Amino acid sequence: MKPLFRLSIIAPLFLVMAPTAFSGQDSKEIPVQQQQKPVAEDEWRFSFTPYFWLPSIVGTVSTPEINVAGRTIGGDFSVDQTWWDTLSKFSSNFYVLALDGRFEAWKGRWGGFLDGYWIFGKTTSSNSDSRLIFRDRVDITATSSVTSKFDLGQFNFGPQFVLAKAAIGTDSTMSLITYGGGRVNWAGQDLDGTITIRASANIGEIGQTFHFSNDQGRAFVEPMIGLKSTWSLGPNWVVMVRGDVAGFGWVEGNNWDCDLEAGVGWQVHRNVLLDLAYRARGQWQDLGANDEVRVRAWYHGPELGITFRF
């Protein structure tokens, strides 16, 4: 069975900042009313958010069952790895790292975005087993070492549009935004390992080492559509909730996936915000020539980022 670590899992944190309009009135009595020029709605506004996402993985991979020498191989394989367990196991033989970012451009009620993440990791497992045969005169020892390197990526792009905008109180606003476009999914894996079998007895020792490797990857583009709501709460806080769905079973392996996120941003400087959020991504996909392999997984965990507006 080919290794399946194709969990097109894995992140983006972003907060769309709704501009706050400030108005003032001169203390002197002026007979002609001064009108405020809507500069924020006419000029281009940009934001860039690098962020970090550490997801938990909860999923099941289902493969066909095969009978080999009276033993059944295949069935359902479950993965349940929490993000705090991932942090506690970081080492040279196990790590998961993520590079993520989002860029947005707005002019008036129309805007566009580029968003993506790339997660790469490594895990190494070693096993050894020894048995005595031929009346305990021959010692058979088998050792194995398998290293799996994987990378997962997602890149989203498209337009976005402000459907509605309303004031909440005196210094807060709420915006409802729709967005859509395309999503590029990438999954790759490099499997490398060795198996050594040795037999030792009084007359000496013989052995053989076998090496195997498997490098594979794939990428595909799918349609995506979503809805987002942002609240600008006073001059220093922004709250965002969003969700989208993609794939629709049209492109690759009957793939469906969704991306959900909720977060808050705190303005630490005039054009800089510190972002904290929680993100969840679900994926349902059938693989293989006859869709005999099924992947069902959720990836969810905290995000931490920083937004620069200019």
Domain boundaries of the chain, sorted by first residue: 45-309
Residue whose C-alpha is closest to residue 233's, from 277, 266, 274: 266
The answer to whether residue 23 scores a pLDDT higher than 70 is no
Mean pLDDT of the chain: 76
Type of residue found at 149: K
Q: What percent of the chain has pLDDT over 90?
A: 34
Residue whose C-alpha is closest to residue 128's, from 114, 146, 153: 146
Least confident of 29-33, 262-266, 285-289: 29-33
Length of the chain: 310
Please compute the mean of the pLDDT values over residues 292-306 and round it to a whole number.
86
CATH of domain 45-309: 2.40.128
pLDDT digits (tens, 9 = 90+) for 97-109: 778 899 999 999 9
Cβ count within 10 A of residue 253:
19
Q: Read off the pTM.
A: 0.70
Q: What tokens were used for 217?
A: 């990857």
